[in-house]
């Protein structure tokens, strides 16, 4: 876990300067005080290994957004955004090590943690309340953590794997002429054999009972470069639809195996982590017709991307290659970091503008996010996402997604926005959250706690 050359960690220097001033009996230097006004963002990343091609644009975008906030706005209401990267390689144990290493950095400690992996999220869920650091899991993590009354410190913003699976079944049903048309059909889940890949199973089992389709599960051992036995089973069983819950090299491998076995790509539907450029570019025309979810974002250049190009890349200060800006995973990284910054800004409205916020204060900000269309437009995110509003009970804030399809060269939207069915999702979330509380001997939050 080496420190990258472009990482920022200046809080220690500020502390030394302040201590030196105190020892000399002098007022602290103005620049030391300015350095102490920092908001520290730990950046858990994976730029190496089989998941590196997917993790790198995500990581570069998060850095670029923080750089833009500093260069264009002078920080978050005058508080400089600082960061340091720590390489996890998508491994849970290394993710926990990165968390422990970075959690206390900065004048107020870590603002929040974006684990960037469901396995790491599971491992940190019990650590976060002890350290008073929120976990922001954008479109991943524990699906039941949408229940803010049970999971005070987890924020699966904009969607979980249960909402993803629900939207996919709705979309497939719509294309078939109605959900009732799924009766007797075979739907197979090809999934990364990890907490990430297993997450959608409860929802899909529930939908299978409701609509009478035959649900089959085929796990793929990480990292997913060997799938021949899985696709041999698919060739034999000929499911009507294949859902792909993959990440990194697993996705392109699955598409290549589907092509080799003759399984139609237009009958394949990936989760939003299986629908970026790295997943299809090496397959090209062979992936034509393949579908995947998008979680309130898309590819392309808009206001925020153009500001980054002008402010950073035109001056040689971008975090990655210029051509990466505007890709699916890069845009996702921008959204993640924007939500983190806006959580800090929201916290400042209550606890003090122009002040660094602690993790506990940022947690309140995440729980009281309210970004309407006017605010999204002002931030430069028009067309990239729908409005989001969180609360004490709702730590997800929105559950919309749509489908895009690979035409052999680029992604094209192929559905309207669809919202997960709360009548199905909420009972599953409540039941799973209650089981977690019982297992850990914890109580639900009180209305009084929601005010804190």
Angle at 311 between CA 306 and CA 313, to 5 degrees: 80
SS3 content of the chain, % helix, strand, coil (to 5): 50, 15, 35
**What does the alpha-carbon distance between residue 173 and residue 179 come to, in Å, rounded to a whole number?**
4
Which residue segments constitute the domains of the chain, with CATH numbers given?
A: 11-159+332-389 (3.40.50.2300), 162-294+401-420 (3.40.50.2300)
pLDDT in tens, 187-232: 999 999 999 999 999 999 999 999 999 999 999 999 999 999 999 9
Average pLDDT of the chain to the nearest whole number: 91
* Residue 323 φ/ψ, nearest 5 degrees: -70, -15
pLDDT in tens, 378-418: 999 988 889 999 999 999 999 999 999 999 999 999 999 99
pTM of the model: 0.90
pLDDT of amino acid 299: 73
**What does the alpha-carbon distance between residue 315 and residue 310 come to, in Å, rounded to a whole number?**
8
pLDDT of amino acid 298: 63
Does residue 161 register a pLDDT over 70? yes
Task: Please name which of 404, 374, 380 lies closest in space to residue 298, comparing C-alpha atoms.
Answer: 404
Neighbouring-strand partners of residue 92? none
Does residue 422 register a pLDDT over 90? yes
pLDDT confidence band for 18 (50 / 70 / 90)? very low
- Given a contact cutoff of 8 angstroms between Cβ atoms, the answer to whether 435 and 321 are in contact is no
**What does the alpha-carbon distance between residue 129 and residue 206 come to, in Å, rounded to a whole number?**
31
393 token code pair: 């009970």
- Given a contact cutoff of 8 angstroms between Cβ atoms, the answer to whether 391 and 369 are in contact is no
pLDDT of amino acid 296: 62
- The two beta strands, 418-419 and 186-192, are unpaired
pLDDT in tens, 426-451: 999 999 999 999 999 999 999 999 98
Across the range 116-131, mean pLDDT stands at 96
pLDDT of amino acid 27: 41
- Given a contact cutoff of 8 angstroms between Cβ atoms, the answer to whether 296 and 334 are in contact is no
Task: Please name which of 106, 107, 109, 112 lies closest in space to residue 124, comparing C-alpha atoms.
Answer: 112
pLDDT confidence band for 273 (50 / 70 / 90)? very high
pLDDT of amino acid 452: 75
132 token code pair: 């008073």
- The two beta strands, 268-270 and 388-389, are unpaired
Q: Which residues contact 317 (CB under 8 A, 6 or more apart)?
A: 67, 71, 311
């Amino acid at each position: 876990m080496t420190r990258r050359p472009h990482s920022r960690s200046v809080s220690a220097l500020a502390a030394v300067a302040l201590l030196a001033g105190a020892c000399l009996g002098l007022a602290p230097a103005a620049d030391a005080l300015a350095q102490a006004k920092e908001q520290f963002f730990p950046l858990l990343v994976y730029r190496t290994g089989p998941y590196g091609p997917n993790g790198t644009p995500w990581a570069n975008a998060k850095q670029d957004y923080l750089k833009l906030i500093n260069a264009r706005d002078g920080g978050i209401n005058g508080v400089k955004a600082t960061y340091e990267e720590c390489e996890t390689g998508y491994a849970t144990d290394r993710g926990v090590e990165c968390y422990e290493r970075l959690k206390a950095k900065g004048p107020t400690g870590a603002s929040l943690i974006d684990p960037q992996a469901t396995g790491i999220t599971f491992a940190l869920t019990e650590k976060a309340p002890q350290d008073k650091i929120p976990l922001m899991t954008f479109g991943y993590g524990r699906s039941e953590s949408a229940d803010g009354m049970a999971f005070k410190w987890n924020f699966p913003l904009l969607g979980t794997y249960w909402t993803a699976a629900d939207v996919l079944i709705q979309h497939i049903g719509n294309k078939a002429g109605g959900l009732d048309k799924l009766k007797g059909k075979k739907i197979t889940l090809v999934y990364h054999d990890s907490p990430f890949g297993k997450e959608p199973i409860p929802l899909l089992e529930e939908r299978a009972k409701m609509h009478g389709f035959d649900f089959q599960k085929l796990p793929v051992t990480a990292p997913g470069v060997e799938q021949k036995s899985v696709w041999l089973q698919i060739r034999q069983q000929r499911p009507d639809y294949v859902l792909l819950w993959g990440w990194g090299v697993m996705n392109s491998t699955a598409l290549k195996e589907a092509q080799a076995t003759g399984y139609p790509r237009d009958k394949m539907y990936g989760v939003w982590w299986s629908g970026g450029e790295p997943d299809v570019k090496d397959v090209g025309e062979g992936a034509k017709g393949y579908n995947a979810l998008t979680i309130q974002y898309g590819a392309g250049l808009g206001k925020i991307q153009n500001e980054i190009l002008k402010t950073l890349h035109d001056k040689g200060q971008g975090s990655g290659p210029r051509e990466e800006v505007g890709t699916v995973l890069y845009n996702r990284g921008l959204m993640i970091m924007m939500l983190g910054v806006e959580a800090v800004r929201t916290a400042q409205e209550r606890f003090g503008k122009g002040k660094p916020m602690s993790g506990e204060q940022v947690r309140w900000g995440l729980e009281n996010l309210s970004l309407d269309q006017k605010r999204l437009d002002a931030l430069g995110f028009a067309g990239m996402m729908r409005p989001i509003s969180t609360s004490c009970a709702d730590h997800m804030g929105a559950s919309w997604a749509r489908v895009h399809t690979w035409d052999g060269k680029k992604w094209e939207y192929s559905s309207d926005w669809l919202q997960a069915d709360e009548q199905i999702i909420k009972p599953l979330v409540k039941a799973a959250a209650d089981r977690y509380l019982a297992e850990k001997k914890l109580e639900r939050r009180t209305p009084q706690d929601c005010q804190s």
